[in-house]
Amino acid sequence: MNHFYRIALLGSPLEPLTYQSDIILAIGSEVTLSLSKRRMNGVVIEPCQKPAFKTQPIDEWTSYIYSERQIQSAKFIAEYYGCSLGEALNLFVPFQSVEAVAKSDYVHPDVNIVLSDMQSKALDFLRAHPISLLFGDTGAGKSEIYMRRMDDVVGEGKRALLLLPEISLTPQMERRFKNHFGETVVLWHSKMTPKQKAKTLEQIYNGSARIIVGPRSALFLPIEDLGLIVVDEEHDESYKSSSRPRYNARDMAVYIGNQYKIPVVLGSATPSLGSYAKYPFFRLRGGYYESKRHFVFEPSIEALTPSIDRSILDNTAAGHQGIVFIPTRANFKYTLCDSCGYHVECPFCSVGMSLHKNARALKCHYCNYTEVLPKVCPKCQSGALRTARLGTAEAVEHFAALSESLRVAQFDRDVITTQNKLINVLKSFNNKEIDLLVGTQMLSKGHDYHDITLAVVMGIDNLLSQSDYRAREKALSLLIQIAGRSGRKHDATVIVQSFNESFFRRYLEDYEQFLIDEMAIRQDRYPPSKKLARLLYAHKNGMKAKEAMEEAVATIQQMENVQVVGFGASAIEKIADKYRFQILLRSDKSTDLIRAIKHVKSPLCEIDMDPIEFT
């Protein structure tokens, strides 16, 4: 006798399809089947009646199964973030069947973490609220509070999940947590080898892993008896996926916490305005360090100045270390012709090509297209090419030439390409084998630097001037986070290249006041009081993308409760040889946005609910 099932195809944009089986299958079973001569994996969603059309058989079934919770969460992702159920389920790692799992004996370790009175009050606050925000200054001891809260749930026989914004944070956090919880702590991230992932999954399946640490993908691991989710650096944009489905792991953690009665702790020194407005918070002020930071503002365009050079040399001569933040990788961001004004762009993207001197090449940081560095202008054939917008690699060369004894290292994605490289650079820096780290936003990601007494922040005005309603929040948060890496053992100086000293000085010591003021500015216009959605239309034929966008605008403008804030060509109109157009929608309710989006759904359209970038 044949049985018929609706199957969600993993990773496919298609809606669930109907297949047949000669045995009864459990809901959530992972199966293998054929679609247009391709072998695919799918998930049994529900049984159904025999359809009027001919169906294909399910080829085989695996020992893996997706839990009811995973399927429900995937359905929410598909509905809210505008993707297929198969795409949403593809985020999750399934459970093994009970027969395949050999359970381990677990002994709860003796965790000895002593908290201050203020930290103890914070811990009590987190225990009292199902969803809470730990608003703690840098160096205030948030990690120790996390560990004590995790010890609560692990002691009850449950497990805890710690989400970090980026893979780069996992080595230091792993060491810190293993010092207290031993081998019950495991890591999960995309840079792990298949063998390492298999070992971690075995520990998760058999129960020997009690605390799981990782970036946003760790949220979708098959963790039985999950008792706590901690989202560290909850403000960080890395929690938002930039590809379909464009979910936000912080918001999904809160959703899972609400749905399944799991406590969730959000933590940050510079919390997002949305979290500050929505959730009860505990303000943890001060820290372990008695040293002070002195801010010096240099009203200058983004450039290496004599005062910066002198400060770095003096700081190194005193036996201390420093960091320099520059928003741009490579040597320079732009290559221009002084004769005709030609701006060398990527042939597939409407952005400037970045100069990489070591490779003697120009590279696009969007599609990775690379070409040989031209000797003359491609347009007028003159040799008057020059570069603009300083990058990290150029700064490293500059500082290395200042003094033969100055030991400089580059800290960005061009150099830190593997986990081992990251670990080695941080180890060398903390062993004082490096005097100066020059990097991008990786510098701000919560790394524990021991003896930084000088921090230089360049290009912060570029962030502040972006056409983004979150520009002030992003710029101020970044400055505070980078400054927070310094002054942990000794007094520190923070040099800020900016023409906006009055804005930054007003809030540097009172981020909460900024959040209060920003809330008033955004009221009735932008989140958190309003909901936004961005519809991105892309096609190699620009007219097709534009026409699809215009049709959607005409339809949505006839609808109630949804406002078209703006539409047109994207700020970066072409990426990877596809022309891009976008619509920005605003409403009081997410449900109204979702309803409007369903009316204009198109294969050319990428849906971005709660967008955080607009280029």
pLDDT, tens only, 562-615: 999 999 998 888 888 899 999 999 999 999 999 999 999 899 999 999 999 876
Q: What is the pLDDT of residue 529?
A: 94
Q: What is the pLDDT of residue 333?
A: 66
Say yes or no to pLDDT of 100 above 70: no
Residue type, 603: P
Residue % of the chain over a pLDDT of 70: 93
Q: What is the pLDDT of residue 389?
A: 61
Say yes or no to pLDDT of 131 above 80: yes
What is the C-alpha separation between 140 and 610, in angstroms, rounded?
30
Residue type, 276: Y
pLDDT, tens only, 390-408: 788 888 989 999 998 999 9
pLDDT, tens only, 502-515: 999 999 989 999 99
Residue ranges covered by each domain of the chain:
3-100, 117-284, 293-329+391-522, 332-390, 531-609
Burial of 483 (0-12, 13-18, 19+ CB in 10 A): buried
Q: What is the pLDDT of residue 584?
A: 94
Say yes or no to pLDDT of 14 above 90: yes
Say yes or no to pLDDT of 348 above 80: yes
pLDDT, tens only, 532-554: 999 999 999 999 999 999 999 99
DSSP string, 285-326: ---S----EEEEEE---SS--HHHHHHHHHHHHTT-EEEEE-
Q: Write down the CATH superfamily of domain 531-609.
A: 7,8-Dihydro-6-hydroxymethylpterin-pyrophosphokinase HPPK (3.30.70.560)
Residues 3-100, CATH architecture: 3-Layer(aba) Sandwich (3.40)
pLDDT, tens only, 412-469: 887 877 778 888 888 898 889 999 999 988 877 756 677 899 999 998 998 888 878 8
Instruction: Please tell me which residue, 500 or 101, carries the higher pLDDT value.
Output: 500
Least confident stretch, 118-122, 350-354, 482-486: 350-354
User: Tokens in use for 573?
Assistant: 């109109």
User: Using 50, 70 and 90 to split pLDDT, how confident is the model at 80?
Assistant: very high
Residues 117-284, CATH architecture: 3-Layer(aba) Sandwich (3.40)
Mean pLDDT, all residues of the chain: 89
11 three-class SS: coil
- Within 8 A by CB and 6+ apart from 592, the residues are 561, 562
CATH of range 293-329+391-522; options 3.50.50.60, 3.40.50.300, 3.40.50.2300, 3.30.70.3290: 3.40.50.300
Can 3-100 and 117-284 be said to share one CATH topology? no
Nearest residue to 477 via CA among 273, 312, 213, 275: 273
Say yes or no to pLDDT of 189 above 70: yes
Say yes or no to pLDDT of 101 above 60: no
For helices 249-260 and 68-81, angle between their N-to-C axes, nearest 10 degrees: 130
DSSP string, 318-386: TT-EEEEE-S--SSEEEEEETTT--B-B-SSSSSBPEEETTTTEEE-TTT--EEEPPSS-TTT--S-EE
What is the C-alpha separation between 240 and 253, in angstroms, rounded?
12
Q: What is the pLDDT of residue 386?
A: 66
pLDDT, tens only, 263-293: 999 999 999 999 999 999 999 987 666 678 8
611, 470 contact by CB (below 8 A): no
